[in-house]
Structure 1
Amino acid sequence: MSSRHSRSSQATQLGASVPQQAWRKFHKVTPLSQGGVIWVVLAIVIFNIVMQMFEAGFGDALREIRRITITHLFIGLGALVALTAVVVFFSWIAWRYQSFAIVESGVHKRSGVIFKDHQHMRWDRIQTVEIEQKLFGRIFGFASVKVETAGTEPAMQLGLLTMEDAGNVRREILNGLANARAGIPIGAARGQHVTPEHVSPDQAATQAVYAAAQPAEQPGWQGAGPSPAGQAAPQIPVFDPDDLERDRQIFSLSTGRLIAASMLKVGFIFSVLSLAAIIALAIILDEGGFLFLILAFVSVLWAWAQSLFSEYGTKIFLSANGLRIRSGLTSLITRSIPPQRLHGVVIEQPMLWRRADWWKLDAVLAGEVDLDSDAQAGQARHVVPVGTRSEIVDVLWTMLPSAGTDNDAALLRDALDGTGTGKYFLSAPRRARWFDPITWKSRGVCLTPNVAVFRTGRFRRRVVIVWQDHTQSLRVSQGPIQRRFNLGAIKLDLVRTGVEAAQKNMEIADVERMMWVENNLTAQAREVGISESIEQWRKRVGV
C-alpha cells in the first residue's frame, strides 16, 4: 500500500511540472469503446460453451437449447446491457481523469481517480510514433497514437482521437522530436514553422520532411485554420492513416497473392487433408457428430484467417523515421522500423512457394523478447509477408546499406539459390551427410566486414543476415558423436532478439577459424560503425 501511495505522490509531483493549460483530453467516445469489450468477451464465452455442448453430444445440446425460453433471453440481454452500462459509466469516470500533454520536457500522460499514474517520455528517449486503429476505430474513424522508446519502457497509448487529430498529434510529436535533435526550442513544434536560418545544413532535410507533412495554416492539433481568403477551409473526414502522410510507397501486397501464399503453406494443406480424411472416415463408418466436425473445420479456418487479417493490405513506405509498415484488416497497425533498431534480416522461402519464386522478409529487432506474446513479436518482425524476388531485394537494400563485398548482388544470389562451397560461402563437408542427409549441402556461412550470413534449407531456404557490429558473442559447440567426425557448430549471440543465427555440422577446423575471423571482424565493425544513423539512412534512400 505504501509503495502504491509513493508512486501516486510521485505522479502528482511530476504532473505539477506541466502547465495546466497544456493538458488535453481524449475523445468522448473513449468510454464507449471500453464497453464494447464486454460484447467481445461474451462472444468468446458463448463460443466455448457451444463447443463444450457439442463435444458432449448433439442430442444433449438440443435438450439444453430447448430449455431456453424467451424470458431467459430477455433476462440475459438485460443483464448484459446493464453490465455494459456499468462498464461505460466507470470508464467515463476514468476518462475524465485521463489527459496528455506535449511540452518542452517531453510527452506526458496522466490517469487514475484515486491512485494517480503519470507516464513521461523525454524527447531523447522517443523512438517511434505510430497510429493504431482497432476494429471500432476503422468503422467510425478513430485511432490512437502509440509512442515507443528506445528502451524497454512500456509504450504510451494516446487515444481515442479522431483520425485527423491523431495525425496532427503524431506530426506534432515528430516535429518536436526533430526540433529537440536540432537543438531548437520544442515550442516551435506547436503551431510554428521552423525557419531555415534556425537549422543547420545537415538538419534542413529532416525539418523539410516534417514541414511538408504539415497542412497549410495549421495552428494546432485541433484542426486547420482559416484559408488565406478568410473563409473556413472545408473539413474532410479522415478515415485512412495514409491520407495524413506523404511518404513514398515501395511495396504493396495484393489480396490474391496473400490468399494463394497462405494456402500454399504445408501446415494449412495438412490441416485441410486431415479434416477431409476424418470426414471421409466418419461417412464410411456411418458415424454421427458431423456438426462437431464442421466446428473443427471452422477452428482450422479461423486460425488460418487470423494470419490473413494481420498481414492483409501490407504496405511499406519510406518515411523520415525509417521504414513505415502498415497492415491489418480488422485491426490496422502502422509501425516504423528505424535503422538504429535493426540487427539483421531473415529471408525465407517455404517449399511450395518455390515455383512462384515467392519469399518473405523479416527484420531482426532488438527488444522482441520484451513483447507480451509470440504473436506480437511475429507481427513486429514481419516486413514483407510474401513478395517476389525483386520486391524482396528492393526492400532489403533499403534496410542493408552494403554487404561489404565487391559484388553484393552475387552474394545475395548465392545465399538464396546456392549450395556447397563457393566464392562467398563455406559449406559443410561431405561426411556431414550422416547427420543431415537432406540439407547438409545447402548449409553455408559467409563472413564479411559488414555482415555474417547463415544459409540453410534445401527445400525450405532460410537466410539469416546479421550486422557485424550487433553481434555480442560467439559460441562453438561439439557433441560426442560430432567429435568422432571432426564436426562442430557455431552460433552468434544477439541482444534480446527472437532469431537464432547458427550453423551446425561444419568442419571443426573451419569452425575454429571462423571464430577467430568473426571476433576480428566484429571488433573492426564496432570501431568503424556499420549500422546507419537516421540521418545517413535518409540521405541514402532519398527521404
Structure 2
Amino acid sequence: MNPPPAPEPGAPEVPWHRVHPVSPLVRGWLAVVAIAFVYGQNTLSSFFGEEEPSRGPDFVSGAPLLVSLLIGGGILLLILLGFFGSWWFTKYQITERHVNVNSGMVFRQQRQARIDRVQSIDIAQPLVARIFGLAELRFDVADSGSAAMNLAFVKLSEAHELRNSILARAAGLQATNDSPPPLAPAGEQGPAGGQSPEPGQMADARFPPADAAPRGPRAASERVVASVPLGRLVGSILLRPSTVFMLLGLIGLAIAMSNIEGFAPFYLLPALLGMAGALWNNLNTGYNFKAATSADGLRVGYGLLDTRHQTVPPGRVQAIKVSAPFFWRPMGWYKVAVNVAGIGGGAANDAEQRSVLLPVGTYEDVLAVLSVVLPSPGVEAPREFFAAAINGSGTAHGFVVSPPRIRPLALLAYRRQGYALTDTALVARNGALHRTIAIVPHARTQGLSLRQGPLARRMGVVDLALATIPGPVVPVVRQLDIDAGRDLFLEQADRAAAARKQTDSNHWLGDA
C-alpha cells in the first residue's frame, strides 16, 4: 500500500471529505435483500411450516423464534456496522493538481488521478441512487484503461459542482470568480447562439463562445443542440441491420422447425429473450438522449432506469465516425461515434455506449455535434463538404477516390471510397450500402501504415490505415492507387507532425 500523497511544499492543506452516508447501502442493497429473504424464508418455514395435528398449543415455541430473530438482528447489525466502516474509511480530496480517493476498511486502497490528465467525467445514477438523489462520478484518465477512478456516492448537485470544477482545472482555466460570465445576447452572436464563425469553421456552430468557460464550481451554461425523440429511437432500433437480420432469422427458424414433429414455440424462448435483451439495452441507453454544448465540451445525457451524464472535451476526441446504415438512409438518419482516450479500455458494452455522441439523428443534428467536437473542419463550405462526404461519390469537394480498375473488387463502392484532406483533418469515406466517414484530426494521428494483400498488389492499389486509440472508429483509406497512397502517407505524416507541435495535449480550452 502506497502512503498518502504528501502536500506540495508551501501549499495550504486541502481538507478531506466523506461520501454520502447512504453510499454503502446503495452499493450493497441487493446483498442485504438477498440475505434477508433467504434467512427470513428459512426462519418462517421452520416455525410456521406444517403443523402436527396431534400436538396442542406450544407456548414454549416462542423462545426459539425469539433466538432466531435475535440472530437475524445480530447479522443485520454486523452488516450495518460494515456499511458504517466502509463509509467512514472512504474519503476524497481535490487539490490543485490531483484527485485523491481513499477507501477500504480492511484492505486499504488509495487512488490518485492527475487533474490535467482527466479525459472526461461521467455522472451516473443507478436506479437506487436516483431514489436517494445521489450520483457517482466516474473519471476517465489518460492511460488508465479499465482502471478509471470512481467516486460513489455524493449528492447530485455536489456531483455536478465537482465535475465542473475539475474539468475547468483540467482545461487549464483558473477559478477567478464564482460564476461563469453570461452568454452574449443572441443578436451579437452567430445564427445559432455562438460567435460568428471565421472561414474554415463550422458554418452553423451552435455552442457558447470560449469566454463563457466556467470560472468556478458552478455549472457551465448548456445549450441543447440535438435530442432523440422516442419515436425516432424506436424506429431506428427496429430498422437496425442487426434487428432486421435477427427477426428474419427467427422467422426462418420458426418456419423450418415447425415441420419437425414435437416442435413447440417454447423452444424459441431463449432466442427471443436474447433478442429482447439487446433491444432493451438499445432503448435504455438511447432514451431521453440529449446532447448539449457547454464551455467544457459536449455534454451527453441518456438513460431510462439508470441515467448517465457524461462530458466529452473536444480537445480529447481522437477520431470521429458518422455512419448511415442502409435501412436508415430513406429516413435521413445518421449515427455519430468517437474514439476518446480512456474509454476504449473498459468493458466492451460500456465503452461502446459511452463512445456514442448521437445514437440516431438528422443531418442537422450531425452538423451540430460536429460543430462541437470538430469546431474547425478546415474547409470553406463545411455543410456541402460533409454532405458530399457522407452521401456523395466521385471527386467533388477535393475527394480522391479509388482507380476504376479496382471495380471487380468493389463493384458498388469503388467510386465512393476515398479521402479528402482539409486544413485540420483527414476524412476517409467508405461503404456503398452502409455508408461511413472517419474523421481524424491531423494532431491526433498517432501512426500510419500501408497495407497490401495479394489481390491489391496485383491491382496496384494499397490501403492506408491511421493508428488511433481503441474505439468504434477504425480509420482506413481503402484501395488507393499505389503512388497516391505513398504520397498521402508522406504528406499526412508531415501534417500530423506540424499539427502536434501547435497543440497542447493537457490544456484543451485555455492557458494555465
Alignment-mate amino acid for residue 25 of structure 2: L
CA contact (8 A) 2:418 2:478 kept: no
Alignment-mate amino acid for residue 487 of structure 1: V
Shift of 1:352: 0.2
- Give ranges in structure 2 of 5+ residues lacking alignment: 36-41, 50-68, 182-208
CA contact (8 A) 2:320 2:440 kept: yes
Alignment of 1:136 onto 2:128: yes
Q: 2:26 aligns with which of 11, 23, 33?
A: 33
Mapped partners of 2:231, 2:463: distance in 1: 41
State the structure with bigger RCO (CA 8 A, min sep 6), 1 or 2: 2
In the alignment, what sits opposite 2:59? none
User: C-alpha deviations, 1:121-143, integer Å up to 9, x for none?
Assistant: 34434443442211212233221
3-state SS of 2:439 partner: strand
3-state SS of 2:385 partner: helix
**Correspondence 1:27-106 to 2 at 5 A:** 27-38=20-31, 71=45, 89-104=81-96, 106=98
Alignment of 1:391 onto 2:383: no
3-state SS of 1:438 partner: coil
Mapped partners of 2:446, 2:430: distance in 1: 22
- Give ranges in structure 1 of 5+ residues lacking alignment: 1-6, 43-67, 196-204, 215-243, 538-543
Q: 2:150 aligns with which of 157, 167, 171?
A: 157
In the alignment, what sits opposite 1:337? 312
Alignment-mate amino acid for residue 311 of structure 2: S
- The count of corresponding residues between Structure 1 and Structure 2 is 457
Alignment of 1:363 onto 2:373: no
Q: 2:239 aligns with which of 264, 279, 284?
A: 264
**Correspondence 1:9-24 to 2 at 5 A:** 10-11=3-4, 22-24=15-17
Mapped partners of 1:426, 1:510: distance in 2: 9
- Percent sequence identity over aligned pairs: 25
Mapped partners of 2:328, 2:343: distance in 1: 27
Shift of 1:311: 1.9
Shift of 1:162: 2.5
Q: Say if 1:486 and 1:172 are closer, same or farther in 2 by CA, change over 3 A.
A: closer
Q: Say if 1:20 and 1:249 are closer, same or farther in 2 by CA, change over 3 A.
A: same
**Correspondence 1:196-275 to 2 at 5 A:** 209-210=213-214, 214=218, 246-275=221-250
Q: 1:476 aligns with which of 450, 458, 461?
A: 450
Q: Say if 1:109 and 1:266 are closer, same or farther in 2 by CA, change over 3 A.
A: same
CA contact (8 A) 1:249 1:318 kept: yes
Alignment-mate amino acid for residue 255 of structure 1: L
Shift of 1:368: 3.9
Q: 1:443 aligns with which of 412, 417, 420?
A: 417
CA contact (8 A) 2:326 2:433 kept: yes
In the alignment, what sits opposite 1:525? 499
In the alignment, what sits opposite 1:307? 282
Q: Say if 1:455 and 1:282 are closer, same or farther in 2 by CA, change over 3 A.
A: same
Alignment of 1:404 onto 2:378: yes
User: C-alpha deviations, 1:495-521, integer Å up to 9, x for none?
Assistant: 455532112322222222222332333
Q: 2:104 aligns with which of 103, 106, 112?
A: 112
Alignment-mate amino acid for residue 407 of structure 1: A
Shift of 1:413: 1.9
CA contact (8 A) 2:116 2:507 kept: no
CA contact (8 A) 2:18 2:91 kept: yes
Alignment of 1:167 onto 2:160: yes
In the alignment, what sits opposite 2:113? 121
Q: Say which structure is richer in helix.
A: 1
Shift of 1:358: 0.4
Q: 1:506 aligns with which of 450, 462, 480?
A: 480
Alignment-mate amino acid for residue 388 of structure 2: D
CA contact (8 A) 2:161 2:217 kept: no
Q: Say if 1:20 and 1:318 are closer, same or farther in 2 by CA, change over 3 A.
A: same
In the alignment, what sits opposite 1:465? 439
Mapped partners of 2:11, 2:23: distance in 1: 24
Shift of 1:422: 3.6
Shift of 1:452: 0.9
Alignment of 1:431 onto 2:392: no
Shift of 1:151: 4.2
User: C-alpha deviations, 1:170-218, integer Å up to 9, x for none?
Assistant: 455456667x743x6xxx88xx7799xxxxxxxxx9796536874xxxx
Alignment-mate amino acid for residue 282 of structure 2: S
Q: Say if 1:19 and 1:362 are closer, same or farther in 2 by CA, change over 3 A.
A: same
Q: 1:452 aligns with which of 398, 415, 426?
A: 426
Alignment-mate amino acid for residue 351 of structure 1: F
Q: Say if 1:432 and 1:88 are closer, same or farther in 2 by CA, change over 3 A.
A: farther
Mapped partners of 2:19, 2:357: distance in 1: 31
Q: Say if 1:85 and 1:425 are closer, same or farther in 2 by CA, change over 3 A.
A: farther
Mapped partners of 1:530, 1:121: distance in 2: 19
Shift of 1:377: 2.0
Alignment-mate amino acid for residue 91 of structure 2: S
Shift of 1:319: 1.6
Mapped partners of 2:82, 2:359: distance in 1: 41
Shift of 1:351: 0.2
Alignment-mate amino acid for residue 238 of structure 2: M
Alignment-mate amino acid for residue 87 of structure 2: W
Q: Say if 1:27 and 1:281 are closer, same or farther in 2 by CA, change over 3 A.
A: same
User: C-alpha deviations, 1:267-308, integer Å up to 9, x for none?
Assistant: 112212222333344444352443232343122111121122
3-state SS of 1:118 partner: strand
Alignment-mate amino acid for residue 254 of structure 2: I
CA contact (8 A) 1:312 1:327 kept: yes
Shift of 1:463: 0.4
Mapped partners of 1:408, 1:169: distance in 2: 36
Q: Say if 1:169 and 1:520 are closer, same or farther in 2 by CA, change over 3 A.
A: closer
Q: Which one is further off, 112-121 or 377-386?
A: 112-121
What is the TM-score with the length of structure 1 in the denominator? 0.73
Q: Say if 1:155 and 1:206 are closer, same or farther in 2 by CA, change over 3 A.
A: farther
What is the TM-score with the length of structure 2 in the denominator? 0.77
Shift of 1:384: 0.5
Alignment-mate amino acid for residue 387 of structure 2: R
Mapped partners of 1:176, 1:524: distance in 2: 27
Shift of 1:426: 1.4
3-state SS of 2:102 partner: strand
